[in-house]
């Protein structure tokens, strides 16, 4: 004949084991199914924050490049990912041909922030969001066209970013300073402009105008 006390003890142990197993199974399911979503949400938030920072970077670089400010300092809060400057000719390039003869050829570096499989890139004045599914131009490069009373002009600012800047984690500080300026004005010419980048499809622009300023 079995003891009732022993049966009660065994029942409590079995109940505890079953309860503990259910809790472990529930936590495991939540972790495996929920964590990727939490991670993705966190990565998206960091990416959005970095795009906002790159908008400020674009403004600061423009002021330094166009001699509106001798030096600027930027700080980036790298919650995730890394940031660094890529030297030319590893980034994009711009080529100008005048009446069939090469007139100007410039490669330029960029600044890239990598967050997981995504990137935010500053390149020749433009901000690009790079993903495996495609690229989006968040902010256009400084290329302008004007036409006043038939007087047509195209203005292209070529901004070459160069340096040995790189950081990963924490607060990164970047110092921007002006290096060089080249101005070229072409009139009454057949001008072909080729712009290429590893992050966007290369494009070709042909201009035939009374006044074309580059």
pLDDT digits (tens, 9 = 90+) for 31-55: 666 656 656 677 778 888 888 989 9
- DSSP class of residue 202 equals -
The Cα–Cα gap between 29 and 115 comes to 27
Which is more confident, 87 or 62? 62
Which is more confident, 149 or 129? 129
Average model confidence (pLDDT) across the chain:
75
pLDDT at 200: 65
**Quick one: what percent of the chain has pLDDT higher than 90?**
1
The Cα–Cα gap between 158 and 66 comes to 10
Residues in the chain: 214
- Domain positions in the chain are 34-213
pLDDT at 85: 83
Mean pLDDT, residues 154-179: 78
pLDDT band at 210 (very low <50, low <70, confident <90, very high): very low
pLDDT band at 186 (very low <50, low <70, confident <90, very high): low
Q: Is the pLDDT of residue 199 over 60?
A: yes
Close Cβ partners of 193 (under 8 Å, ≥ 6 residues apart): 94, 95, 96, 97, 154, 156, 204, 205, 206, 207, 214
Nearest to 186 by CA among 213, 158, 146: 213
pLDDT at 213: 37
pLDDT band at 209 (very low <50, low <70, confident <90, very high): very low
pLDDT at 6: 53
């Amino acid at each position: 004949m079995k003891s009732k006390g022993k049966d009660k003890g065994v029942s409590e142990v079995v109940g505890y084991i079953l309860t503990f197993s259910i809790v472990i199974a529930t936590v495991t399911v939540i972790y495996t199914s929920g964590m990727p979503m939490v991670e993705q949400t966190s990565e998206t938030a960091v990416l959005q924050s970095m795009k906002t920072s790159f908008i400020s970077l674009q403004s600061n670089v423009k002021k330094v490049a166009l001699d509106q400010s001798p030096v600027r300092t930027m700080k980036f809060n790298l919650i995730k990912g890394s940031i660094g400057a890529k030297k030319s000719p590893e980034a994009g390039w711009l080529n100008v041909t005048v009446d069939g003869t090469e007139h100007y050829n410039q490669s330029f570096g960029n600044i890239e922030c990598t967050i997981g499989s995504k990137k935010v890139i500053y390149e020749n004045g433009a901000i690009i969001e790079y993903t495996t599914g495609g690229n989006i131009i968040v902010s256009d490069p400084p290329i302008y066209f004007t036409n006043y009373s038939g007087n047509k002009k195209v203005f292209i600012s070529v901004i070459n970013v160069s340096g040995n800047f790189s950081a990963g984690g924490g607060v990164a500080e970047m110092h921007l300073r002006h290096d060089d300026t080249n101005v070229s004005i072409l009139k009454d010419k057949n001008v072909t402009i080729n712009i290429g980048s590893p992050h966007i499809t290369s494009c070709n622009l042909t201009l035939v105008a009374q006044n074309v300023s580059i």
